[in-house]
Structure 1
Amino acid sequence: MTNMHDVAKWPIFSLMDSELLNSIYQACVFGSGGNEAIFTTSDGDVYALGNNHNSCLGLGDVQSTLVPRKIEALCGKGTTLMAFGSGPHVVVATNTGELYSWGHNGYCQLGNGTTSHSPERMAPCLISNNLGGCLITHVACGSHHTLVLTNKGEVYAWGYNNCGQVGSGATANINAPRKVSSLLSGKKITALACGQTSSLALVDNGEVYGWGYNGNGQLGLGNNVNQPSPCRVSSLTGVVISQIACGYAHSMALSDEGVLYSWGANSYGQLGTGNKANLVTATRVGTDIGRFVEIAATHYSHISAAMLQSGAVYMWGQCRGQSVTTPILTKFTCLDDVFACFSSPAVTWRSLKFETFVGRRALEDSLKNSFDNQEASDLKIVLDGKSIHVHKAILKIRCEHFRSMFQSHWDEDAKDVIDITQYSYPVYHAFLEYLYTDTVSVDPEDAIGLLDLANSYCETHLKRLCELIIKQGINIENTATLMAAAIKYEAQELEDFCFKFAVNHMTAVVQTDAFHNLDEVYLKEFLNKAAQWGAFKY
């Protein structure tokens, strides 16, 4: 399943010209009332609108605006990442590795080398790149500090450091990017998250490290002692974590098997444990709901959200002023909508990449309702004795395979019934529905067959969606099967993902029937690769 962001749910965009609205590539909404926004367009321009508190719109002045204005200094720079602190300050990264910042600088949070007494910066200022020429893959901000992750898996930080949130080993403010080392040295970091005054980092082997303020137990160390250097979240030992998130003063982690953990402050029920007691160690949440595939929180608020493998979205914590202590099911289809509608303030938890716009809704609904509608169709596709009603014109527009099939010199062009024998009904139904909706909803096992189809029909986007479904549905029992499918269909990234999961759960995986049924040649290659990975060290 793929999720669509709905720009209409964010009020700050409601007055925008439709042409500019439809050109948005990515955006973030921030501010004490969710009343400020920055966005980039598909042609590389960068705009801002809103209150302009502390000149955080980067426009070079203090004027508020309801009409988007260009941030001239960033237009054409290739902005790829955007993050904001509640201080407020804003940090963006470009595709060439440049970092820019602007806004409040009372605590060195702009990272441009100026002291804490420097005035607020009203326009983007280039941060001196002392990151070894690396590209930036992730940016995260707390209230007054910033973390960036490089493509080498290294972490740099700067800003307010009164609780050790910059990870320097001390508590003096840091006015320029400094590498976070200590226990992170030699480890490849894959993700970052910031609370108001705390920091988390995820290592590629599934370990989680935290540092900074720990008064509410948000570092998960079993105590309330602040940490000026990274410490491993000991309460997650033995669990392979794939995602991390931080709220104002609480933390969450998601394991590679879809188990959700939370810890830290809980005065609004943001831990989802059914009560309001703080926790100093990671605790499993929502164990009776299902397998989680995505989690979300923001340092601006006390709300938490998570999505199940089925696509169902749950939320808990401070939801529009109410304290919800147990995850409740919503009608949303993506986590971003939780924050647009229920977070206080309504700010984004990550940069949005808009895929659905107001002007396209009617067309999308019409196409969706036309799928498998016998009255309007001009073609019936039959599989396993079951029929699917479609439209030749739509299939030709959406798929090269059908453009080739429905040519005047081919028999299929004159037919109104076509039999398909090489694929199962669920797989082909999912494929045809994808052509109408751009979404896919199948279980991991059928996703393997759909991956085969996508590979044969050269449908690259569909192939990526299938890989995502398989990743979200991997477990001990099906790991070897999914890994074999990835090899067969030359999905290298998926193969690597399955291999890593197998190594992290080696003892259990090698005892499954699927593993015993692996091709002998590949089985030997797998064991050799696992040995090189270090799986058999003792």
Structure 2
Amino acid sequence: MRDEETHQFLKLKPVQATLSSLKMLDVGKWPIFSLCSEEELQLIRQACVFGSAGNEVLYTTVNDEIFVLGTNCCGCLGLGDVQSTIEPRRLDSLSGKKIACLSYGSGPHIVLATTEGEVFTWGHNAYSQLGNGTTNHGLVPCHISTNLSNKQVIEVACGSYHSLVLTSDGEVFAWGYNNSGQVGSGSTINQPIPRRVTGCLQNKVVVTIACGQMCCMAVVDSGEVYVWGYNGNGQLGLGNSGNQPTPCRVAALQGIRVQRVACGYAHTLVLTDEGQVYAWGANSYGQLGTGNKSNQSYPTPVTVEKDRIIEIAACHSTHTSAAKTQGGHVYMWGQCRGQSVILPHLTHFSCTDDVFACFATPAVTWRLLSVEPDDHLTVAESLKREFDNPDTADLKFLVDGKYIYAHKVLLKIRCEHFRSSLEDNEDDIVEMSEFSYPVYRAFLEYLYTDSISLSPEEAVATNDLCIIFAQLGCRPGSSPTLK
């Protein structure tokens, strides 16, 4: 690919994003933050609101300091005592630690993972949900390493009184209350320390997890969903109401590739790679969005709008559901400030977090709020990150049975062929068969990055790339980057 005329690759000059500082995290909709001064609010980078009345807070600042305030029930603020505080107090025991993810239970108890993959727990522990081998409440953060040494935890989830973590190698560990099999051990004996969840998950790679009040969900890399635990409301989606003490695949989703899962108190939402939402479980507040209040024990489609759904939201302490579309519209349904909203309702919000701040009972956060570091990315870097991103894509290329996710507007801007071929094309799937998956992927990636990434084993495909560039009218300009 050294021909000077055909194989020159144009270099984009990065456009620098000029930002004087990180944008402020909007936490003002949660009442408890009225206890913080304007100066303190401006420093918040991450935040979590939890507790039976949304009356506990943990947040980090731009200086990577961790602060807490609230009623401190069962020592859930980690300060070493059970004294409430209406003024933010620094959590010195986690000094120097950066939070990657965090979840909370009903006691409440806290499970936190750092960016280094370490796990810390504290708070309510009557059912061993802290994983430290005791049933004593934890007044300060405790590093949990039993069965997790040499493991990097990348996601955490809490039920009411049990805990779940996901490691970087796709393994799931659980501990705590197990009266309904929610630990997945095959018994109903409480689990005092982390135990790997095996059974059907033994040889699977799990990519994301979630917990309801007393149940667990795991999505594997093939898009299948595995469930276990309490099922009295059909929240496992298995077509019955019997508890499940070990992981079981949701057979009703056969042929459907799930990307995300979210659990409410006793209901479940999943999001597919097609942008479709399915729901099942308890529905006494309309939280399934099906137009009625009947429980569903099988996955049921939720009709939001024609636009693709890119995010779903639920929390085990509420009966509220929310979703965001690719067009930026936010919908809510379920228990909303005492009302039962039985169909998805369009809101004026720009993010699903606001639904839980303004309409959920209690007013908690369904995830760890954070100011994304994307604020400092250049335009070129932002485009590079969006390549093959199913959450924002509106077009899929099907090659060799695999999808490559792309964005029509960018393809039309970057390539004359796509400008004409996609102009009146409303299809969201394009099948390609002339060349191999690595070739098409490398070409599409070039349109996002201005460089070609091919492994040494795939370098032979450069000739095919030349043909694609010629056929589609693209005239790149320096030699490709082989990785």
Q: Does 1:522 align with 2:446?
A: no
In structure 1, runs of 5+ residues without a counterpart are: 357-433, 440-453, 490-507, 530-538
Alpha-carbon distance in 1 for matches of 2:252, 2:161: 27
Q: Does 1:98 align with 2:118?
A: yes
Counterpart for residue 263 of structure 1: 280
Counterpart for residue 273 of structure 1: 290
SS in 2 for 1:459: helix
Counterpart for residue 358 of structure 2: 341
Offset of 1:71 from its aligned partner? 1.2
Cα separation, partners in 2 of 1:220 and 1:209, compared to 1, 3 Å? same
Offset of 1:483 from its aligned partner? 9.5
Q: Following superposition of structure 1 onto structure 2, how do residues 274-293 of structure 1 map, counting pairs within 5 Å?
A: 274-286=291-303, 288-293=305-310
Offset of 1:513 from its aligned partner? 5.8
SS in 1 for 2:369: coil
Which segment is superposed worse, 458-467 or 327-336? 458-467
Counterpart for residue 259 of structure 2: 242
Report Cα offsets for 1:114-167 as digits up to 9, x if no partner: 1xxx33221112223422411111000000001000000100000000000011
Offset of 1:104 from its aligned partner? 1.1
Q: For 2:222, which of 205, 223, 242 is the aligned residue?
A: 205
Counterpart for residue 138 of structure 1: 155
Counterpart for residue 406 of structure 2: 482
In structure 2, runs of 5+ residues without a counterpart are: 1-22, 414-426, 444-454, 456-483
The question of whether the paired residues in 1 share the 8 Å contact of 2:271 and 2:312 is answered with yes
Alpha-carbon distance in 2 for matches of 1:475, 1:293: 15
Report Cα offsets for 1:302-358 as digits up to 9, x if no partner: 0000011111000000001100000000000011010010000011111000369xx
SS in 2 for 1:48: strand
The question of whether the paired residues in 1 share the 8 Å contact of 2:179 and 2:188 is answered with yes
The question of whether the paired residues in 2 share the 8 Å contact of 1:296 and 1:349 is answered with yes
- Say what the alpha-carbon RMSD is for the aligned residues: 3.4
Cα separation, partners in 2 of 1:80 and 1:464, compared to 1, 3 Å? same
The number of residues matched between the two structures is 408
Offset of 1:53 from its aligned partner? 1.3
Q: Following superposition of structure 1 onto structure 2, how do residues 344-493 of structure 1 map, counting pairs within 5 Å?
A: 344-354=361-371, 459-464=380-385, 468=389, 471-475=392-396, 482=406
Q: Following superposition of structure 1 onto structure 2, how do residues 154-303 of structure 1 map, counting pairs within 5 Å?
A: 154-286=171-303, 288-303=305-320
Alpha-carbon distance in 1 for matches of 2:398, 2:144: 48
| 2:239 aligned partner, one-letter code | G
Offset of 1:97 from its aligned partner? 2.7
Cα separation, partners in 2 of 1:331 and 1:521, compared to 1, 3 Å? closer
Identical counterparts, % of pairs: 52
| 1:286 aligned partner, one-letter code | T
The question of whether the paired residues in 2 share the 8 Å contact of 1:55 and 1:62 is answered with yes
Alpha-carbon distance in 2 for matches of 1:474, 1:267: 37
The question of whether the paired residues in 1 share the 8 Å contact of 2:265 and 2:318 is answered with yes
Offset of 1:19 from its aligned partner? 3.3
Q: For 2:64, which of 27, 37, 44 is the aligned residue?
A: 44
| 1:155 aligned partner, one-letter code | V
Alpha-carbon distance in 2 for matches of 1:102, 1:54: 9
Cα separation, partners in 2 of 1:513 and 1:345, compared to 1, 3 Å? closer
The question of whether the paired residues in 1 share the 8 Å contact of 2:390 and 2:405 is answered with no
Offset of 1:25 from its aligned partner? 2.1
Report Cα offsets for 1:191-233 as digits up to 9, x if no partner: 0010000000000110000000000000000100100100001
Cα separation, partners in 2 of 1:27 and 1:520, compared to 1, 3 Å? closer
| 2:432 aligned partner, one-letter code | F
Alpha-carbon distance in 2 for matches of 1:7, 1:50: 15
SS in 2 for 1:522: helix
Q: TM-score, normalised by structure 2?
A: 0.77
Counterpart for residue 451 of structure 1: none
The question of whether the paired residues in 1 share the 8 Å contact of 2:388 and 2:405 is answered with no
Q: Does 1:315 align with 2:332?
A: yes
Which segment is superposed worse, 462-471 or 31-40? 462-471
The question of whether the paired residues in 2 share the 8 Å contact of 1:55 and 1:121 is answered with yes
SS in 2 for 1:8: coil
Cα separation, partners in 2 of 1:4 and 1:465, compared to 1, 3 Å? farther
Counterpart for residue 492 of structure 1: none
Report Cα offsets for 1:347-394 as digits up to 9, x if no partner: 1111000369xxxxxxxxxxxxxxxxxxxxxxxxxxxxxxxxxxxxxx
Alpha-carbon distance in 1 for matches of 2:283, 2:224: 24
| 1:461 aligned partner, one-letter code | S
Q: Which has the higher contact order (CA 8 A, sep 6+)?
A: 2
| 2:65 aligned partner, one-letter code | D
